[in-house]
Structure 1
Amino acid sequence: MSATEISSPESPNRLAQATAYFLKFSLLFLILLFISSVFEIILASSDHNLKSGILSLIKWASLENLAFWLRIALPAYLIFSLVYLVSRSLAFILSNLAIILFFSIHLLLIYYYNTTLVMLGGDIFGYSLAEITQTVGASGTLAIVPVMIFLVFISLVIAGILFIRKRIFFPPVIGLLVPVLSAAYIFVGWDENVQPKLETDFETKLAENKSEHFYNAAYRHFEPEIYETDIYAESYVKNYLAGDDVLEPVEYVDEFNYPFLRKSTGHDVLGPYFETKQKKPNLVFILVEGLGRAFTNKNAELGNFTPFLDELSDKSLYWPNFLSGGGRTFAVLPSIFGSLPFGKTGFMELDQMPSELSLFNVLQKNDYQTAFYYGGNSTFDNMNRYLKANEVNRILDEPTFPEAYQKIPPSAGGFTWGYGDKELYRYYLNTVADDTTAAPYLNVILTVSTHDPFSVNDQDRYNERFEQRLEEIGFRDELKEEYSKYKKQYASILFMDDAIKEFFETYSKRADFNNTIFFITGDHRIPEIPMTSKIDRYHVPLMVYSPMLKRTAQIESISSHFDITPSVLAFMHEQYGIQTPSENAFVGQGLDTLRNFRNIHPIALKQTKTDFRDFVMGNYHLNGNSLYEIQPDMKEIPVNNPEKKAALQNAFDQFRRKNEQIIEGKKLIPDSLKVYGS
């Protein structure tokens, strides 16, 4: 193309010029995508353990980047050409700014995943600015090294832009290949069966394009969700699960006005395990931040780093195949104590939280005192708002701790989550009266030590305990080197386990210990230790321990956080005569106590405040558009079964439709049930 042609104002030539220039910009964009992926994989290999090999990861990441590039090339070409026809200089300025801005954000998304092992998506819109600042401050992600890397990479982007503008030229006919290939790809599509063949879920996500995930998730967050009403949905669930008729059908009362309202089943599955006493038992829930099954108790996939909890599980009712309701802490209180749907960004984020029935308010109507203990600030995730709506008698969190207590060591940026587990338990034991004649209590303890940045008091001691534990487990030298990359995480787990041990040693000397039932579970699994499967994020243990137990059991069947309150209320009604409502809006149907592996629960799971793509039914797990079969050890294998996939998708859509109705303002319970609720 001659200089005369390039400067010509005629529309046909200007369109040809736009096509030629777009090819340069688009190729630069593709090259920078490849470079950023190579950088990301090298960064991950230095910080984490890669089982698939760097070349394999680069291959799959390149395919992901190529697919992303082809998806956006045609719309980008159309926009560029239209702007170019109006103003050539404006097209260049906007293109330059777009590339610089894109890769600035892209690099931040890469570093976020490398630090947290969580792909940032629409969940950023589910948190306030204060909560985002708090989380980023805790993780210390704004260190000097990543800032320097960021500046170097953006300099590379700018240099690339200047180079192609002056040194590289293509004829327009070649430039047409990009929009033509993009159009062909968009209309034909990528083969869905071409999935990354990598060893772990961590590596599969590593190969994904972080920007594509972020923008798709943001779009899903703001896109209105529409689900068609299917009057046969419940029969689908029943027929799917009830090959041996193990699932009792849900009897809904008035789905139009109260989407989740149903008859209470009232089956007491816990009673046969307990010695019933005359006085109502105290209930203590210990919700451990990040307590995943992957590193807890015997046969843990990553090794047993909780020796005391392992010992306690042998004296408990123990569910090793248990699921949390969410992949972050926002879901734990509503899931466990209210068996509630999620709303849009979590039940506690609803502008108008509808009246509900919960373990808190039903037991309060039966003379229980309630309290919530937390080492951090309970304003995070709106926990205090939810607790106040349930009229919890006392909320004791970071601002209420006396000066005598020692906070978690601050991060490099000076941030601390609050008080560690040992101080939290000490505060609890100092403020709960040991009075066997007082009213029974329901107390909830939520810990924070096993949260990023995993700093604990007496850090050197627990770093040494980590090294000792590697020896006790019997790891080979090469495994020790791999695990050392997560020393802070594992040291905090050992600290957490010691704190619980000291807590029970002290509690066992109290007069009220013999009439107390303890529930121990994780809010979700620590994401900063790489995961092998999609379900791993939700895979937590549940232990029900008490001196009142007359027999113990290891229960292999799957249940979830949603099933706890229905079973506890049925137990309290049958064994202690407390008044419970004949109807409720619980999502869960109660704990399954069959010792063999099975799942009779349809379970919707929400990974983050905005990532709502997981559904478990029977032995299958639907994650987005992918179907997995859950094995007895809770490992997953991908399966291609359109019939089962359609069954799960249908049941999941019906749950989300009902959830959407709650977002729109429909009630959970009628006014007649508020005598039990808040």
Structure 2
Amino acid sequence: MVKYIRSSYVHVKKIVSRFISCFIVLCVLFFMIRCAEMIYDRLLHGHLTAWWEVLLTGIIKDLTFLMTIGGWAFLIYFLLSLASEKLARAVFIVIAVTLCLVHLVLSQYFLTTLTALGADLWHYSPRDIWQIIAAAGIKWSVILVVVLIMLIATWSLARLPRRIKMAPTAALALIVLFVICEDFNLAAKANIWRNDSSEYGNSLSINKSYYFFKESIDYFFPPPAEVSIYADTFLDYKNDASIRFRYPDEVNYPFLHQDETPDVLSPFFSKGEHRPNVVIVIVEGLGRAYANEGAYLGSFTPFLDSLAGHSLYWQNFLSQAGRTFASLPSILASLPFGKSGFTELPHMPEHLSLLSLLKYNGYKTGFYYGGDAVFDNMSGFLQQNAIDQIHDIQSFPADYTKLPENDQGFCWGYGDQELMRYYNATLANTDTPYCNVLLTVASHEPFLVNRQEFYLARFEQRMKELHFDEERKADARDYKMQYASILYVDDALRQLFHRYMQRPEFNNTIFIITGDHRMPEIPMRDKLDRYRVPMILYSPLLSRAAKFNGVSTHFDITPSMLQLLKRQYQVKMPSLAAWVGSGLDTSYIFENRHGYPLMQTKHYMIDFIQGNHMLIGNDLYEVSNDLALTAVNDKEKLAQLRHGFERFRRKNRQMITGAKLLPDSVYMHYFPR
């Protein structure tokens, strides 16, 4: 018996030692991938502040992730070893090589998009995923490098472990450490650890595999909803910016309230003889970081800069999400997000919007897009709002030119200049007022536009006009394709207005121009920068131009536009509404009267801005007058923002589980038939 116990003990020690030897090789491979990622990032995006700090932080996060999964890996290895040690080694090699491959793919995705891939992958249809992958492009050189690394990984895992000798005591100590990492969830703590580099540096340092797996697990196996200690039953802050409305029946209609949106636009407008046309232009990837006066990266939108000087211009404006999926519901209907975007709800709740209410009041409505309107279920949302016409990639005649294809033969569709030309050609001369929405597509990965060389040369000229020094020019050239695409869409907008000025209804048209979100492919200053976009309202009906410093978002556009049209043109609308937004802020001083959630991706809603503070996960930041963030420690303010955020999330959950937005009596009366 004693001999058997000793023999078993020796066998277990041998298994532990051999596992640790294999595991050390896996750690070395992840270290190599981290170094390759950092070097490739340097080649793609140039110099990074605190490069060594980001590298060391990343290595710590990688090791913490590996140790967190090490306990489960050892359990599998140990059980298989009891049957066959060769089988255990083979399975470990397969799992380890797969982990390296997934990690490489996730790293490449981040370096291409500058956004870590999470559970938002599972919110897209296979067709949408293919479009995204094809747009990013698949380089054969990258594929060859990945294959080479996989061969090296396989050889290393098969050959090197036998050369690594570790004392059984030390090996057992590492196994205990694995259990500690899993028990205390150290991988999560390591990945939220902030360093002192830029926001881009923080994102680069995270372990991409941990981020993806954690988000995916939460998506497929969501934790049970908890009652927050910040819910209304526990806290009731006076003057809470998130409590803006009077809710007559919050249980059955969580967002329904009396529409008391103030009419802040009429003082800037001269009343026309007829109801004005409304044209909304949503520009893909248009961020304030590189657009309009005061852009900290320099403005690459000279036409929009000029137009803003003759318009109502909100320089502290935010999109509602970091992707396009929320643009139409937020801008046109001030709608909550649902689980992964309003348009992704299995059954979109009945609602009213700027489109449907204007159609109810006799307007014609249309949507124009150079790509496929099926993407993000935009067409489904528009059809539910009784839109008259959808013009997308299927609508363009043969004499229109698509965007250039990337190396894989993919393009999103027709360029923005062709979109504007097509829009002008199809716009009928009629006395019937219209509300049309245009969505651009060219300033999106792969950032290939017609007359590419011209716009690359225009990019170089623009840097001279902005008086960039040589160092700043070198930094900007790392993103020359992105900046060239912004100059391209700026010219498209110039052409749109040039053609519109020849039209008889130009003097009776209101134009709204905003970005759907800031493009993430150019490194961001901080997390709020992801949402900061221009907002320009131009019309010949304006009695004066103005620039506002008050913070507003996409949620505020529809409520304010409808109040303007109601007051000046007697547009009929219900007294009850389900808008999330409370209207545009026309304050000349910096302030934020709102309390709104922001959704970075389809599965990542952890951001909430209220007053002069922003909540990101569990961290609190103060928002300066240029919308820059500074971390602060204020427990009372943190509790207030958590309280406001939880109110929205609770209402949002009610809608997801079947609560209505509007009573049938309101919806049926005002929905156009």
1:250 is aligned to 2:245: yes
Per mean C-alpha deviation after superposition, the further-off stretch among 217-226 and 289-298 is 217-226
Following TM superposition, by how much is the alpha carbon of 1:641 offset from its aligned partner in structure 2, in angstroms? Answer: 2.6
CA contact (8 A) 2:231 2:647 kept: no
Following TM superposition, by how much is the alpha carbon of 1:593 offset from its aligned partner in structure 2, in angstroms? Answer: 1.0
Distance 1:159 1:522, change over 3 A: same
| Aligned match of 1:200 | 198
- AA aligned to 2:218 is R
Distance 1:233 1:613, change over 3 A: farther
Distance 1:40 1:262, change over 3 A: same
- In structure 1, C-alpha distance between the alignment counterparts of 2:237 and 2:546, rounded to whole Å: 29
Per mean C-alpha deviation after superposition, the further-off stretch among 9-18 and 614-623 is 9-18
| Aligned match of 2:269 | 274
1:498 is aligned to 2:497: no
| Aligned match of 2:302 | 307
SS at match of 2:533: strand
Counterpart selection for 1:160 from 156, 160, 164 = 156
Counterpart selection for 1:676 from 667, 670, 673 = 670
1:558 is aligned to 2:551: yes
CA contact (8 A) 1:117 1:530 kept: yes
CA contact (8 A) 2:314 2:547 kept: yes
CA contact (8 A) 1:294 1:536 kept: yes
Following TM superposition, by how much is the alpha carbon of 1:266 offset from its aligned partner in structure 2, in angstroms? Answer: 3.5
Distance 1:79 1:443, change over 3 A: same
SS at match of 2:227: coil
Deviations 1:240-264 (A, max 9, x none): 44xxxxx873111211111111111
SS at match of 1:629: strand
| Aligned match of 2:560 | 567
Counterpart selection for 2:286 from 271, 284, 291 = 291
CA contact (8 A) 2:288 2:295 kept: yes
- In structure 1, C-alpha distance between the alignment counterparts of 2:664 and 2:237, rounded to whole Å: 29
CA contact (8 A) 2:69 2:182 kept: no
CA contact (8 A) 2:61 2:190 kept: no
CA contact (8 A) 2:329 2:342 kept: yes
CA contact (8 A) 1:80 1:91 kept: yes
- In structure 2, C-alpha distance between the alignment counterparts of 1:338 and 1:194, rounded to whole Å: 34
Identity %: 42
1:466 is aligned to 2:459: yes
CA contact (8 A) 2:16 2:168 kept: yes
Per mean C-alpha deviation after superposition, the further-off stretch among 92-101 and 110-119 is 92-101
| Aligned match of 1:178 | 174
- In structure 1, C-alpha distance between the alignment counterparts of 2:224 and 2:519, rounded to whole Å: 30
- In structure 1, C-alpha distance between the alignment counterparts of 2:280 and 2:401, rounded to whole Å: 23
CA contact (8 A) 1:322 1:542 kept: yes
Following TM superposition, by how much is the alpha carbon of 1:408 offset from its aligned partner in structure 2, in angstroms? Answer: 0.6
1:621 is aligned to 2:614: yes
SS at match of 1:214: helix
| Aligned match of 2:41 | 44
Counterpart selection for 2:440 from 433, 447, 459 = 447
| Aligned match of 2:634 | 641
Following TM superposition, by how much is the alpha carbon of 1:157 offset from its aligned partner in structure 2, in angstroms? Answer: 1.2
Distance 1:19 1:255, change over 3 A: same
CA contact (8 A) 2:116 2:203 kept: yes
SS at match of 1:239: coil
Following TM superposition, by how much is the alpha carbon of 1:403 offset from its aligned partner in structure 2, in angstroms? Answer: 0.7
Deviations 1:569-591 (A, max 9, x none): 11111111111111111111111
Following TM superposition, by how much is the alpha carbon of 1:86 offset from its aligned partner in structure 2, in angstroms? Answer: 4.3
Distance 1:559 1:389, change over 3 A: same
Counterpart selection for 2:370 from 375, 394, 401 = 375
Distance 1:84 1:259, change over 3 A: farther
- In structure 2, C-alpha distance between the alignment counterparts of 1:38 and 1:102, rounded to whole Å: 17
What are the equivalent positions in structure 2 for 1:51-90 lying under 5 Å apart? 51-90=48-87
Deviations 1:100-151 (A, max 9, x none): 11110000000111011111110100111111111111121x1111101101
CA contact (8 A) 1:14 1:84 kept: no
SS at match of 2:535: strand
Following TM superposition, by how much is the alpha carbon of 1:611 offset from its aligned partner in structure 2, in angstroms? Answer: 1.5
CA contact (8 A) 1:564 1:591 kept: yes
CA contact (8 A) 2:21 2:162 kept: no
| Aligned match of 2:12 | 15
Counterpart selection for 1:93 from 90, 94, 97 = 90
Deviations 1:438-463 (A, max 9, x none): 21100000001111111111111111
Per mean C-alpha deviation after superposition, the further-off stretch among 374-383 and 26-35 is 26-35
Per mean C-alpha deviation after superposition, the further-off stretch among 572-581 and 284-293 is 572-581
- In structure 1, C-alpha distance between the alignment counterparts of 2:540 and 2:516, rounded to whole Å: 25
Distance 1:216 1:579, change over 3 A: same
- In structure 2, C-alpha distance between the alignment counterparts of 1:396 and 1:8, rounded to whole Å: 77
CA contact (8 A) 1:14 1:85 kept: no
Per mean C-alpha deviation after superposition, the further-off stretch among 24-33 and 113-122 is 24-33
CA contact (8 A) 1:236 1:651 kept: no
| Aligned match of 1:601 | 594
- In structure 2, C-alpha distance between the alignment counterparts of 1:461 and 1:515, rounded to whole Å: 35
Following TM superposition, by how much is the alpha carbon of 1:644 offset from its aligned partner in structure 2, in angstroms? Answer: 2.1
CA contact (8 A) 2:54 2:197 kept: no
Structure 1, unmatched stretches of 5+, are: 242-246
- AA aligned to 1:387 is L
CA contact (8 A) 2:17 2:168 kept: yes
Counterpart selection for 1:366 from 361, 366, 383 = 361
- AA aligned to 1:177 is A
- In structure 1, C-alpha distance between the alignment counterparts of 2:629 and 2:470, rounded to whole Å: 28
Following TM superposition, by how much is the alpha carbon of 1:188 offset from its aligned partner in structure 2, in angstroms? Answer: 5.9
Following TM superposition, by how much is the alpha carbon of 1:238 offset from its aligned partner in structure 2, in angstroms? Answer: 4.9
TM-score, with length taken from structure 1? 0.94
- AA aligned to 2:139 is A
SS at match of 1:444: strand
- In structure 1, C-alpha distance between the alignment counterparts of 2:112 and 2:199, rounded to whole Å: 16
Number of aligned residue pairs: give it: 665
| Aligned match of 2:329 | 334
- AA aligned to 2:227 is E
Following TM superposition, by how much is the alpha carbon of 1:227 offset from its aligned partner in structure 2, in angstroms? Answer: 4.3
- AA aligned to 2:121 is I
- AA aligned to 1:100 is V
1:316 is aligned to 2:311: yes
Distance 1:642 1:184, change over 3 A: farther
Distance 1:82 1:658, change over 3 A: farther
What are the equivalent positions in structure 2 for 1:369-408 lying under 5 Å apart? 369-408=364-403
TM-score, with length taken from structure 2? 0.95
- In structure 2, C-alpha distance between the alignment counterparts of 1:239 and 1:66, rounded to whole Å: 46
Following TM superposition, by how much is the alpha carbon of 1:629 offset from its aligned partner in structure 2, in angstroms? Answer: 1.5
Per mean C-alpha deviation after superposition, the further-off stretch among 142-151 and 214-223 is 214-223
SS at match of 2:98: helix
Following TM superposition, by how much is the alpha carbon of 1:28 offset from its aligned partner in structure 2, in angstroms? Answer: 1.8
CA contact (8 A) 1:237 1:602 kept: no
- In structure 1, C-alpha distance between the alignment counterparts of 2:612 and 2:149, rounded to whole Å: 45
SS at match of 1:391: coil
- In structure 2, C-alpha distance between the alignment counterparts of 1:591 and 1:617, rounded to whole Å: 15
Following TM superposition, by how much is the alpha carbon of 1:221 offset from its aligned partner in structure 2, in angstroms? Answer: 1.9
CA contact (8 A) 2:231 2:646 kept: no
Per mean C-alpha deviation after superposition, the further-off stretch among 314-323 and 180-189 is 180-189
Structure 2, unmatched stretches of 5+, are: none
Per mean C-alpha deviation after superposition, the further-off stretch among 410-419 and 73-82 is 73-82
CA contact (8 A) 1:60 1:196 kept: no
CA contact (8 A) 1:286 1:521 kept: yes
- AA aligned to 1:168 is I
What are the equivalent positions in structure 2 for 1:110-189 lying under 5 Å apart? 110-140=107-137, 142-186=138-182
Following TM superposition, by how much is the alpha carbon of 1:465 offset from its aligned partner in structure 2, in angstroms? Answer: 0.3
- In structure 1, C-alpha distance between the alignment counterparts of 2:297 and 2:532, rounded to whole Å: 13
Counterpart selection for 2:216 from 206, 215, 218 = 218
- In structure 2, C-alpha distance between the alignment counterparts of 1:76 and 1:621, rounded to whole Å: 39
Following TM superposition, by how much is the alpha carbon of 1:9 offset from its aligned partner in structure 2, in angstroms? Answer: 11
Distance 1:123 1:238, change over 3 A: farther
- In structure 1, C-alpha distance between the alignment counterparts of 2:31 and 2:233, rounded to whole Å: 45
